[in-house]
Chain A
Amino acid sequence: MKIKNFFLNFNRKSVQNNNSLNHFDLSYRVFRIYRWNPSIMKNPWINSYIVSMNNCGPIVLDALIKIKNEQDSTLTFRRSCREGICGSCAINIIGKNTLACLYKLSDSSRFIHIYPLPHIYVIKDLVPDLTNFYTQHKSIQPWLQPNRDYSLQKEFIQSKQERSYLDGLYECILCACCSASCPSYWWNGDRYLGPAILLQAYRWIIDSRDSATEKRLGYLNDSYKVYRCHTIMNCTKTCPKHLNPGKAIANIKILLKGEKRESNS
């Protein structure tokens, strides 16, 4: 009967067998989560939680909430939209920076290692301190600086092609997954801006409605702000929204060189 079932289910997803405790049983998963509490004078440690998949949602965030509800209510993490659009739940899952609300449990193995975003100060458990990241975002002036001749009563005229240059740039949710995956940002996080911020800087540079392009490029023309990028390309690999910060940084370098490039292709 077992052999017959094996051949019948060969091309289907594995049948859930909740009673057996054999080697291939995935009805439970073990979560190894990084913990640290500022009120306890102790070095960071790892807690293991065994979570049954019977009444758990399909994503890692559901499992974290289940752990918090049933096993350990002191577990701390950021979350908001549960659909991959706010960027709050950015953490490192099995060695890769993603959003907890987008990482499916069916994609992962039995042991799931969860760490906060790499090389960022930890406030508590899985909550990173992103104040440096936000300060750097503010420093690139992420707002439209149009020509002084523009009247505030009229709309900014932009052709379809000019609007298409922003595709792949405006979708960034500032989750910091890419910056936290860049080894250059690990070693020079105070001076190098990081892929996320540089993607946003490029978004404002190639916006046709913006007229402060030279000022923006002049701000970036430094040996640390852009040129710490060595095209390691961890950022593009890890982006949960499938954007390409590495390409945007290459385009910034080309613009800084002086060559005029119209599109972001």
Chain B
Amino acid sequence: MKNYIIRPIAPHLTIYNAQWNSVFSIFHRISGVFIMVFIFFSTLGLFFFKFYSPTIMCVSFLWLFNKVYWIFISIIFIIFMSFFYHLCSGIYHLLLELGYFYHMVKIEKMSKYSLSFSILISFFYFFLIRLLFINLY
């Protein structure tokens, strides 16, 4: 009887260091998937919940999330954050494809700039939306 030897593949994800550049790159993909899932379910939800005006939509959301306001707000913030992160890292990748910033120091700098810029913009839009809710409420 022949014994076939199945050679193993050397470990990869479990042992390789999570570097800043690789984590930045994979979060671009993760945020994209997250936004797509969110948009899909929100459009699906619009079919089931018929809103006659934006005011009623906001008031109904606020009534639903009255007790769990912070969870609602944090979900909104995460969505904003992922959208702007995806946008800023997408622009960074476009610049990289055009051939700019190819030394590791510049890459780390530019990726950190894009992350901080996306955080700033998401905070900015987040507080704008809060003002909108407060005005309506």
Query: Closest residue of chain B to A92, judged by CB?
Result: B15
**How many Å lie between the Cα of A123 and that of B6 in the bound state?**
10
Contacts of B8 in A (CB 8 A): 36, 43-44, 121-122
Contacts of A165 in B (CB 8 A): none
B93 adjacent to chain A (CB < 8 Å): yes
**How many Å lie between the Cα of A181 and that of B15 in the bound state?**
11
Q: Residue B11 contacts which of A38, A115, A230, A251 (CB distance < 8 angstroms)?
A: A115
**How many Å lie between the Cα of A118 and that of B11 in the bound state?**
5
List residues of A (102-123) whose CB comes within 8 Å of B's CBs. Answer: 113, 115-123
Decide: B16 and A251 in contact? CB cutoff 8 A.
no
Contacts of B7 in A (CB 8 A): 38, 121-123, 129
List residues of B (29-58) whose CB comes within 8 Å of A's CBs. Answer: none
List residues of A (40-56) whose CB comes within 8 Å of B's CBs. Answer: 41, 43-44
Query: Closest residue of chain B to A40, judged by CB?
Result: B5
A183 adjacent to chain B (CB < 8 Å): yes
**How many Å lie between the Cα of A183 and that of B15 in the bound state?**
13
B21 adjacent to chain A (CB < 8 Å): yes
Decide: B99 and A116 in contact? CB cutoff 8 A.
no
Interchain nearest-CB distance for B32 vs A (Å): 12
Decide: B16 and A95 in contact? CB cutoff 8 A.
yes
Query: Closest residue of chain B to A116, judged by CB?
Result: B10
Contacts of A144 in B (CB 8 A): none
Known: A38-B5, A251-B99. A118 touches B21 (CB 8 A): no
Interchain nearest-CB distance for A9 vs B (Å): 31
Residue total for B at the interface (Cβ-Cβ under 8 A): 25
A231 adjacent to chain B (CB < 8 Å): yes
**How many Å lie between the Cα of A26 and that of B55 in the bound state?**
67
B124 adjacent to chain A (CB < 8 Å): no
A87 adjacent to chain B (CB < 8 Å): no
**How many Å lie between the Cα of A77 and that of B75 in the bound state?**
51
Q: Residue A119 contacts which of B12, B22, B98 (CB distance < 8 angstroms)?
A: B12
Interchain nearest-CB distance for B37 vs A (Å): 21
Interchain nearest-CB distance for B94 vs A (Å): 10
Decide: B10 and A120 in contact? CB cutoff 8 A.
yes
Contacts of A96 in B (CB 8 A): 16-17
Known: A96-B17, A234-B22, A244-B102. A186 touches B107 (CB 8 A): no
Contacts of A36 in B (CB 8 A): 8
Decide: A95 and B15 in contact? CB cutoff 8 A.
yes
| Among B3, B22, B93: residue with most chain A CB under 10 A | B22
Q: Residue A120 contacts which of B9, B21, B97 (CB distance < 8 angstroms)?
A: B9
B134 adjacent to chain A (CB < 8 Å): no
Q: Residue B104 contacts which of A230, A233, A253 (CB distance < 8 angstroms)?
A: A233
Q: Residue A250 contacts which of B3, B26, B99 (CB distance < 8 angstroms)?
A: B99
B19 adjacent to chain A (CB < 8 Å): yes
Contacts of B12 in A (CB 8 A): 118-119, 183, 186
B96 adjacent to chain A (CB < 8 Å): yes
Q: Residue A41 contacts which of B3, B96, B98 (CB distance < 8 angstroms)?
A: B3
Subset of 6 A-B contacts with CB under 8 Å: A43-B8, A95-B17, A118-B16, A121-B9, A233-B104, A236-B104
Q: Given contacts A121-B9, A231-B25, could you give 16 more A-B pairs where the C-beta distance is less than 8 Å?
A: A44-B8, A115-B11, A118-B11, A119-B9, A120-B9, A121-B8, A183-B26, A230-B93, A231-B93, A231-B96, A231-B97, A233-B104, A234-B19, A236-B102, A246-B102, A251-B99
Binding site for A on B (CB under 8 A): 3, 5, 7-12, 15-17, 19, 21-22, 25-26, 93, 96-99, 102-104, 107
